[in-house]
A and B are shown apart, each in its own frame.
Chain A
Amino acid sequence: MGLSAYLTLAATLFAIGLFGVITRRNTIGILLGIELMLNAVNINLVAFARFNADPAGMIFTVFTICITVSEVALGLALVILIFRVRRTAIADHLDILRG
């Protein structure tokens, strides 16, 4: 299997994640979409590392996974806080920045 197969997988995954981020009404669903997009990037990094025989991509991926974990923890904490304050976790209702 060539590089393009991996990249196609990653692009598809990224598109699914983006679709989820844009269309999910629940905040937790949006967070899941973001995770999918990040993992698409990880696949890209690993694939390039593999085919270019350069370990830097792998190292980057380890870092990315770590940061993703903390980001998810932070994101969930925010969602819980928002839910406590506004009694809702639906993204459509969170429009206090409307101009």
Chain B
Amino acid sequence: MTDPGAFALLALLLPAASFLVLALVWPLRRSGRPAAWLSIVLAAGALASAIRAWTVAARGGFSLWAWPWIPMEAGPLTSVGVLADADSALMLVLVAGVSFLVQLYSLGYLSDEPPASLGRYYTYQALFAFSMMGLVLAPNFVQLFVCWELVGLCSYLLIGYWYQRPEAARAAVKAFWTTKAGDVGLLIGIVLLYRQAGTFEFLDLLLMVDSKALPLAGLGVITFCIYLGAVGKSAQFPLHVWLPDAMEGPTPVSALIHAATMVTAGVYLLVRTAWLFDQTPEVLEIVGWVGAFTALLAAVLACAQSDIKRVLAYSTVSQLGYMMAAIGAGFASAGFLHLLTHGVFKALLFLGAGAVIHAVGTNDIFAMGGLRRAMPQTFVVFLVGTLSLSGIPLFAGFFSKEEILAGVWVGGLPIPFVMLAIAAFLTAFYMFRVVFIAFFGEPASAPHGSHAGTHAHDAPATMGIPLWILAVLSVAVGVGFAVKHPEAEFEAPGFVTPLAIALALGGIALAWLTYERRLIDAERLSALVAPIRDAAAHRFYLDEAFVAIYRWVILGCSRLVGWVDRYLVDGVLNLLSAWTLDAGDRLRRIQSGQPQDYVYGVALGVLLLLIWFQWAS
């Protein structure tokens, strides 16, 4: 078979099957490990068929399998199915791959969980894999939106996996509502687009754009609304606040959903509809500016964190900003490339951090220290991920990051370029800050209830194997790019490559001098930027701002509306019903229950009628 659609469909249906089995056969789900293995085996099958689909699609294979959906008088409104081309098949491989590795890793990471909880976890994981693949392969906006909401649901369920902990439950609700705020924009955008174009299908829309049949008036509002959905999902400023809190979920979940796949759905959406956004350059400029600002803001915030997962979370926000900036500059392919490489090395970093947390029992980097000797394997893979993220040549992140920087410069956005360059410097700094504090130096004195330092040991095989696979992939992709440069769509100016390397090395050097050599006092360094540091410690007061908006604006409006409803609307209705009751009470006296009274009434009525007839004629 040479049809990528068939393999893509198989990859989509395997996790769906495992979800259905686990959801319906509750003894299997409550048994824990067998449920986990079922999910892992089917995820491996999905990965195999995804790779097969990609090998066909990468050679130019293209396939649309769609079934009509929502029948109407004038034909079906939309369709469900798979649209397998080079981009979606590649993304499918990333999703299936990271999903499989994370499920395998979770088996070790969550080994202490009770069987019933473990089964629940794998049920959610299977549902997530299915919905994310459905999103990636969606041939139209409707299926995309349905899957978009499904992955949001899975994110909510998995952040709140330890729902007994109030922080986790709160974080889950926060993530759900914040992304939902953006989703409203996406839904409005889709409906408006349907009004304008009369179709949801990507291919039809693409044809309309190509033949200039799509009216451009008002298209900016539509693309901006669609972009709002991406702002929520891909944690762009100002809706990025949910992602750091989402770290309350288990670490493998953070790696899969909140680093590699779901949060990149917004970027993927913009890449997928890049031809639509190209029609509205003003919206693209907003995308670029917001992306660059998000990248810088999150990089600054990451420097002020002491929780290893929060550092990585802010770094994810920052890298998502990079991808958005590239799209905003008009080079969606550069953003997509960074999406893929970032998916690999950020999953690696999160899983590495998970191995550390699993061994040490705390998230606080200052409670770690000296882990290089205690966990040599974890140290190596984490270092590979860190070098990739910092953008060192021969590692995965270097080429894609450099291409984004060059693209933003060529795209004519000099100020965002400067922001991204500063963010690149900070990225190298904060990542190596974590590495030097956590892995070098002397073991910190263990806090209560944890076994830090020398007692830590490398992770078991189920956790180690995914780490090594991702580490090898990170290096292989980086070396592959160095050997065979993918063709860029533009001529990069010569100064970008040296600048990118210099920024990364500068960041590393600063971190080395500060946290390893201790030549620069960390306190003094932070005192230099005291206002920024203090603001960053409060996350730039964004949460407070949202709380204030909620408390004063939304609650105020609700109170006003509530008053109008209670006293005006309800008041009128209550008055009417009171009048009706009163009138009925008076009228019931007529009903005496005496048949003779009624006969008397009838006779009187007939008499009156007779008189009336006489008088009228």
Residues of A bordering B, CB below 8 Å: 18, 21-23, 30, 91-92, 94-99
Contact of A99 among B590, B595, B603 (CB under 8 A): B590
Q: Which residues of B contact A30 (CB under 8 A)?
A: 595-596
The CA of A91 and the CA of B595, in the complex, are separated in Å by 8
- Chain B 38-56 interface mask (CB, 8 Å, partner A; 1/0): 0000000000000000000
- Chain B 581-617 interface mask (CB, 8 Å, partner A; 1/0): 0000000111111111001100100000000000000
What residue in chain B is nearest A97 (Cβ atoms)? Answer: B593
B525 to nearest A CB, angstroms?
89
The CA of A98 and the CA of B589, in the complex, are separated in Å by 8
The CA of A30 and the CA of B597, in the complex, are separated in Å by 13
Contact of B593 with A95 in the complex, beta carbons under 8 Å: yes
Contact of B596 with A22 in the complex, beta carbons under 8 Å: yes
Q: Which residues of B contact A21 (CB under 8 A)?
A: 596, 599
Total interface residues on B, using CB and 8 Å?
12
Q: Which residues of B contact A18 (CB under 8 A)?
A: 599, 603
Q: Which residues of A contact B595 (CB under 8 A)?
A: 30, 91, 94
What residue in chain A is nearest B589 (Cβ atoms)? Answer: A99
Q: Which residues of A contact B592 (CB under 8 A)?
A: 95, 98-99
Q: Which residues of B contact A99 (CB under 8 A)?
A: 588-593
Given contacts A21-B599, A22-B599, A22-B603, contact A92 B594 (CB under 8 A): yes
What residue in chain A is nearest B598 (Cβ atoms)? Answer: A97
**Sample (8) of A-B pairs whose CB atoms are under 8 Å apart:** A18-B599, A18-B603, A21-B596, A22-B600, A98-B591, A98-B593, A99-B590, A99-B592
The CA of A91 and the CA of B592, in the complex, are separated in Å by 12
What residue in chain B is nearest A27 (Cβ atoms)? Answer: B595
Q: A18-B599, A21-B596 given; name 9 further pairs at CB < 8 Å.
A: A22-B599, A91-B595, A92-B594, A94-B595, A95-B592, A96-B593, A97-B591, A99-B588, A99-B592
What residue in chain A is nearest B588 (Cβ atoms)? Answer: A99
B48 to nearest A CB, angstroms?
80
Chain B interface, >50% SS class = helix
Q: Which residues of A contact B599 (CB under 8 A)?
A: 18, 21-22
A25 to nearest B CB, angstroms?
9
The CA of A91 and the CA of B599, in the complex, are separated in Å by 12
A48 to nearest B CB, angstroms?
19
Q: Which residues of A contact B594 (CB under 8 A)?
A: 91-92, 94-95, 98
The CA of A93 and the CA of B312, in the complex, are separated in Å by 90
B254 to nearest A CB, angstroms?
71
Cβ-closest 4 pairs across A and B: A99-B591, A98-B593, A95-B593, A99-B588
Q: Which residues of B contact A97 (CB under 8 A)?
A: 591, 593
B592, B593, B600: most-surrounded residue (chain A CB, <10 A): B593
The CA of A18 and the CA of B603, in the complex, are separated in Å by 8
Q: Which residues of A contact B590 (CB under 8 A)?
A: 99
B582 to nearest A CB, angstroms?
15
What residue in chain B is nearest A24 (Cβ atoms)? Answer: B596
The CA of A99 and the CA of B598, in the complex, are separated in Å by 13
The CA of A53 and the CA of B591, in the complex, are separated in Å by 46
Q: Which residues of B contact A92 (CB under 8 A)?
A: 594
Q: Which residues of B contact A91 (CB under 8 A)?
A: 594-596
The CA of A18 and the CA of B607, in the complex, are separated in Å by 12
The CA of A96 and the CA of B594, in the complex, are separated in Å by 9
B195 to nearest A CB, angstroms?
56
The CA of A99 and the CA of B594, in the complex, are separated in Å by 11
Q: Which residues of B contact A98 (CB under 8 A)?
A: 591-594
What residue in chain B is nearest A21 (Cβ atoms)? Answer: B599
The CA of A17 and the CA of B460, in the complex, are separated in Å by 108
A16 to nearest B CB, angstroms?
13
The CA of A99 and the CA of B600, in the complex, are separated in Å by 17
What residue in chain A is nearest B597 (Cβ atoms)? Answer: A22
B397 to nearest A CB, angstroms?
85
B590, B593, B596: most-surrounded residue (chain A CB, <10 A): B596
Q: Which residues of A contact B596 (CB under 8 A)?
A: 21-23, 30, 91
B373 to nearest A CB, angstroms?
95
The CA of A22 and the CA of B603, in the complex, are separated in Å by 9
A38 to nearest B CB, angstroms?
14
The CA of A99 and the CA of B591, in the complex, are separated in Å by 5
The CA of A94 and the CA of B592, in the complex, are separated in Å by 10
B602 to nearest A CB, angstroms?
10
The CA of A22 and the CA of B595, in the complex, are separated in Å by 9
Q: Which residues of B contact A22 (CB under 8 A)?
A: 596, 599-600, 603
The CA of A99 and the CA of B589, in the complex, are separated in Å by 7
B447 to nearest A CB, angstroms?
80
The CA of A23 and the CA of B588, in the complex, are separated in Å by 23
The CA of A94 and the CA of B594, in the complex, are separated in Å by 7
Q: Which residues of B contact A95 (CB under 8 A)?
A: 592-594
Interface residues of B in 529-578 (CB under 8 A from A): none
